[in-house]
Structure 1
Amino acid sequence: MAALLLSGCMLPPPMVETVRLPQDATAPARVGQADSVVAGEKGLVSAADPRAADAGAQMLRLGGSATDAAIATMLALTVVEPQSSGIGGGGFMVMADPRGTIETIDGRETAPMAANGDWFMAGGQPLPFAQAQPGGKSVGVPGSLRMVGRAHGEHGKLAWRTLFQPAIRLAREGYRVSPRLHAALDRGRATGAFDADGRALFYDAGGAPLPVGTLIRNEALAQSLERLAARGTDSFYVGPNAQMIASKVGTAPHNPAPMSTGDLASYDAKVRAPVCGSYRGYRICGMGPPSSGATTVIAVLRQLEGFDLAALGPDSPIAWHLLAESERVAYADRDRYLADPDFIRVPTAGLIDPAYLARRARLISADRTMPAPVAGSPPGAQARADGVEAEEHGTSHFVAIDKWGDAVTYTSTIESAFGSGIMVGGYFLNNELTDFSFVPGKDGVPVANRVDGGKRPRSSMSPTLVFAPDGSLRLVIGAAGGATIPVQVAKAIIGVIDWHLSARDAIALPVLFAPGGDAVYIEQGSKLEAMIPALVALGHAQVTPRELPLKANAIERVGARWQGAADPRSEGAAVAE
């Protein structure tokens, strides 16, 4: 019976058409959009792809809410940014109304119930990431659709099926391969071409990625989206689609893994309590565990309150040294304590406790580098071993504001580029389980972020709201880029609050990433490279220029106007209602 049901879901092959474009027309059409747009009192969407941002803006023009716009944006990104996010993955939504009421929804993926601490171990050793990513073992139960279904039920104004129409049109009528997608296809062949459907859709007969400007028509995805639009989220988690996911994960040619239809049917998105702290009189709010975003962003910022960053300015090596030191301290705590709160007691309140962060701040000096920091003992902490996860390149962030002043900041992910490489119904399944720590314990002490059945892996996703001292919403922001995400967000907030930059210019500031130990990575090709001698003189022995996976989006309030911003490193755009 299962075989018959699956065979009944067979979809037509994808269609591709190669079109030679003029040299100045190879990027996605921007139709007057830019990476910074002023919208006045109208609604606004900022996303990593202009076609997706426009899909969200279309919902605002129809009278939709910020939630409607965010959902339509996510669905369109499933089509045009398949390497980064979509319905085969998960995410976090943080929502606020004009009164400052905040709601956060956890749509993080879960491990199959058959998973355990040895999931990524072989012969007593952790699998190399390159072996763990492709195939079935890395796939978590997708959470995106349960999450947005819940959000729409509470905050949507438009009909459910309306939200799908821009994405369906993009999938059926076609979209052009952008330079960023082409680069991802070239770099991520191990997963982009892992599945026969992916190979047929994105690569030529010789195995080369289709060139920039190629028109992609994904009829399989168009049909999947049409079914979801007509039948709702249950049609993803039960029935033929769920059976196909479980079958492909369980029979993958590499790392087949036991995911059951029951794993999918039992998935639920969860409303979590927001996590809020303060920085120089501003209220900073974000997603709590299993996200490490809010606690890490708040810690990085709060530990720097005793230093006059405004006087130092963005061109000061000392300012960047202080940021590096605060990151090192915050990430030591993150790596030890953050995990799924349904499985582990996470000392969330202790990690952002002002007195605790004041003690941690005393480790930081403006004229020298501290020894490698270790995790502290925040109030409520239990003994845990440190655990780290691999870097990813498969996440997207977008933000939306509607004309009523409601806001959504939403990070969506399939983890690494093209996720696990497994394609079902025209979309890629995530590899989120590689966000777990592969080693389950150290010296008899369990790692908080170890693999367990039904557990959600720790995430760095940091959808964030910043409220001004008068209580008004000042900034809606988030980023993509794995463990660099909290750093991107904290740096941008410093840029806006301390250095009085626009959100666009704050996002464009270079990134310095110091995730612990002695290593400091600076954005390759940025002005920070000229500061390496000064940073070394302050005691940073390992300062390495590196290409970092950076991509942020924001909307800010400037006077009486909303202004959108997208990372100039990306193909992103802000689009007004």
Structure 2
Amino acid sequence: MRTALALLLLTTPAFAQEAADAVAPEAATGLAPEVAAPVTSTDWMVTAANPLAAEAGAQVLRDGGSAADAMVAVQAVLGLVEPQSSGLGGGAFLVWYDAATGETTTLDGRETAPMAATPTLFQTENGEPMGFFDAVVGGLSVGTPGTPMLMEEAHRRWGRASWSGLFDDAIELADDGFAVSLRLAELVTGDAERLAVAPATAAYFLPNGSPLQKGETLRNPAYAATLRALAAEGTDAFYSGEVAEGIVATVRDAAQPGVLTMDDLAAYDVVERPAVCAPYHGTQVCGMGPPSSGALTVGQILAMLEYHDIAAMGPDDPEVWRLIGDASRLAFADRGRYMADSDFVPMPKLLDGAYLRDRAMLLSGDDALPEVSAGSPPWDHAALDFADDVSLELPSTSHISIVDGDGNALSMTTTIENGFGSRLMTPGGFLLNNELTDFSFRTHSDGVPIANRVEPGKRPRSSMSPTIVLRDGAPVMVVGSPGGSRIIGYVAKTIVAHLDWGMDIQQAVALPHLVNRFGTYDLEEGTAAEGLGEALTAMGFETNVRGLTSGLHVISIDGDTLSGGADPRREGVAIGE
């Protein structure tokens, strides 16, 4: 069995690449990558986007804690060491498989629009949509945070360790300091101008006017104090009292003030929702339904692919990427038309088998579809007319996958939306989200309402796709990623790579990205994906070579063996024993 230190070394991106080069420096052929073997274990596994966070969760699992306990510890540390991606000021979606009952359920910890929010929240005086970053930076974009209550609710349902002890590692790191990672330093430098807008944010990320540097020791005593209050009092210490007052004051006193109130915080609640599951090659792919578009869109893509023998084609065949690309475009067309918070907007039957069979038949040609539009899925009631939404969703976010010693599985995607969220740092030592900019900035198009428009109390549509794949009622994959609306493509590709192309979980995670949402095929720069550009162009696709920084963290389960994969594009690791 590998030691924890060995696991950390073997799964850091730099070491993984060096190991792959040492094993077979010229062996890679086609798209399938040569990478270090996945981390394997027989008892438990955790994989997350930062080694310090993963180790905090690992220690909880070593001590006999559940996957829900470990998640609390991981999230508490992530909010400190990876503040640009997630934290107490954000929201999350969680998918849970219960080994004792065999049931799968989900918790919705998505942020909500304040009750004073109006449909024209992000419009100018002339009724035109604001510029994206004009809307993001400041208090206007801040929704009511849900992550702390989701942590508490998961622990209440499935935890067995002491709640207060789950914050110990994060408190110690916040008090004593941690070394700033290369990724955090680079992102601070790249966003320095926006981080400088709010004085408290600038003081933390730009001390003495200069961006944080790699290796610099960063302390956050304010965050430690917030965690101590959470540990002692639960989330009452967050949604009321001094911490809540600090959140509201930060939002309302910003250069661009928002409308969040103490009443919004007091009224927040986590919602349990049924898992949305789609069949795929003898498995059930289960994830988060609305207000997430993740499970529905991933499910539609896979359902359309099931009518084509993509396993026989393999990852190097341009034809397989034609099918995946156009299936994705068709699914995204439905996403833009129909998907939103189902507590506010009725939804058609987007996973109806006959409907998706008809959509799959659109892929039967040889070239890219010249045009793609939303379909006409069946309804359980009178059909409603919605206009297409073009809201912008930029990548940030983080993902956690955990399997505990009892076989419980947890997949959680967690976010403050854009990198560094609203760029507002609270007195409690954490950043606030800009989640409201996931709503459509327009309310109507040509007089037809847009489903994902802003409404008081509504949860903005998300692409977060925490997923658990089941075979014969038991999990075989726990998967998810950050990446904005490209999350859906990252998750679908990883499922296909593992289940259809037989890649081990680390190969599937490291497989170069090819993502097509709206017509242009994004090809991951510096990878073999670029080599498919000519063939895809000949099929009629527009292509764009660009960086595609996912953060896939995946666990596969094969009998008694757990295998963990961490995305080499970020700083994550897998740890198991």
**Normalization by structure 1: what TM-score?**
0.92
Deviation at 1:389, TM superposition (A): 2.2
Aligned partner of residue 557 in structure 1, secondary structure: strand
Q: Matched residues in 2 for 1:169 and 1:570: separation?
A: 24
Percent identical pairs in the alignment equals 46
Match of 1:178 among 170, 178, 181: 181
Aligned pairs for 1:278-427 (under 5 A) are 278-347=279-348, 350-365=349-364, 367-380=366-379, 381-424=383-426, 425-427=428-430
- 1:552 matches 2:552: yes
Superposed CA deviations along residues 316-344 of structure 1, whole A, max 9, x for unmatched, are 11111111111000000001111111111
Aligned partner of residue 473 in structure 1, secondary structure: strand
**Alignment correspondent of 1:34:** 11
Specify whether residues 464 and 31 from structure 1 end up closer, same or farther in structure 2 by C-alpha distance, changes over 3 A only. closer
Question: Unaligned 5+ residue runs, structure 2?
Answer: 13-36
Aligned partner of residue 552 in structure 2, secondary structure: strand
- 1:167 matches 2:170: yes
Q: Matched residues in 2 for 1:291 and 1:100: separation?
A: 23
Aligned pairs for 1:85-234 (under 5 A) are 85-98=86-99, 99-122=101-124, 123-205=126-208, 207-234=209-236
Conserved 8 A contact 1:191-1:420:
no
**Alignment correspondent of 1:519:** 520
Question: Unaligned 5+ residue runs, structure 1?
Answer: 1-27
Deviation at 1:313, TM superposition (A): 0.6
Specify whether residues 33 and 223 from structure 1 end up closer, same or farther in structure 2 by C-alpha distance, changes over 3 A only. farther
Equivalent residues, number: 543
**Alignment correspondent of 1:504:** 506
Conserved 8 A contact 1:33-1:575:
no
Deviation at 1:191, TM superposition (A): 3.9
Conserved 8 A contact 2:38-2:506:
no
Letter in 1 for 2:525: Q
**Alignment correspondent of 2:446:** 443
Q: Matched residues in 2 for 1:74 and 1:559: separation?
A: 28
Aligned partner of residue 394 in structure 1, secondary structure: coil
Aligned partner of residue 168 in structure 1, secondary structure: helix
Superposed CA deviations along residues 270-309 of structure 1, whole A, max 9, x for unmatched, are 0011101111111110001000000000111110112111
Q: Matched residues in 2 for 1:420 and 1:456: separation?
A: 17
Q: Matched residues in 1 for 2:223 and 2:395: separation?
A: 22
Letter in 2 for 1:472: A
Deviation at 1:522, TM superposition (A): 1.5
Deviation at 1:256, TM superposition (A): 0.5
Q: Matched residues in 1 for 2:105 and 2:373: separation?
A: 33
Deviation at 1:29, TM superposition (A): 11
Conserved 8 A contact 1:482-1:549:
no
Aligned pairs for 1:28-107 (under 5 A) are 31-32=8-9, 34=11, 38-98=39-99, 99-107=101-109
Between stretches 31-40 and 380-389, larger displacement belongs to: 31-40
Q: Matched residues in 2 for 1:31 and 1:533: separation?
A: 39
Superposed CA deviations along residues 64-99 of structure 1, whole A, max 9, x for unmatched, are 100001111111100000000011100001000225
**Alignment correspondent of 1:463:** 466
Deviation at 1:186, TM superposition (A): 1.5
Deviation at 1:223, TM superposition (A): 0.8
Conserved 8 A contact 1:37-1:576:
no
Superposed CA deviations along residues 147-198 of structure 1, whole A, max 9, x for unmatched, are 1111111101011111111111111111111111111111222443333222
Conserved 8 A contact 1:191-1:417:
no
Conserved 8 A contact 1:87-1:145:
yes
Superposed CA deviations along residues 417-452 of structure 1, whole A, max 9, x for unmatched, are 110011111100000001001111111111000001
Q: Matched residues in 2 for 1:192 and 1:91: separation?
A: 23
Q: Matched residues in 2 for 1:194 and 1:218: separation?
A: 20
Specify whether residues 448 and 95 from structure 1 end up closer, same or farther in structure 2 by C-alpha distance, changes over 3 A only. same
**Alignment correspondent of 1:3:** none
Superposed CA deviations along residues 101-121 of structure 1, whole A, max 9, x for unmatched, are 111000000011111110000
Q: Matched residues in 1 for 2:189 and 2:364: separation?
A: 43
Specify whether residues 155 and 191 from structure 1 end up closer, same or farther in structure 2 by C-alpha distance, changes over 3 A only. farther
Aligned partner of residue 413 in structure 2, secondary structure: strand
Conserved 8 A contact 2:189-2:212:
no
Aligned partner of residue 564 in structure 2, secondary structure: strand
What's the Cα RMSD here? 1.5
Letter in 1 for 2:351: I
Deviation at 1:366, TM superposition (A): 5.1
Q: Matched residues in 2 for 1:526 and 1:296: separation?
A: 26
Q: Matched residues in 2 for 1:464 and 1:359: separation?
A: 25
Aligned partner of residue 114 in structure 2, secondary structure: coil
Deviation at 1:33, TM superposition (A): 5.3
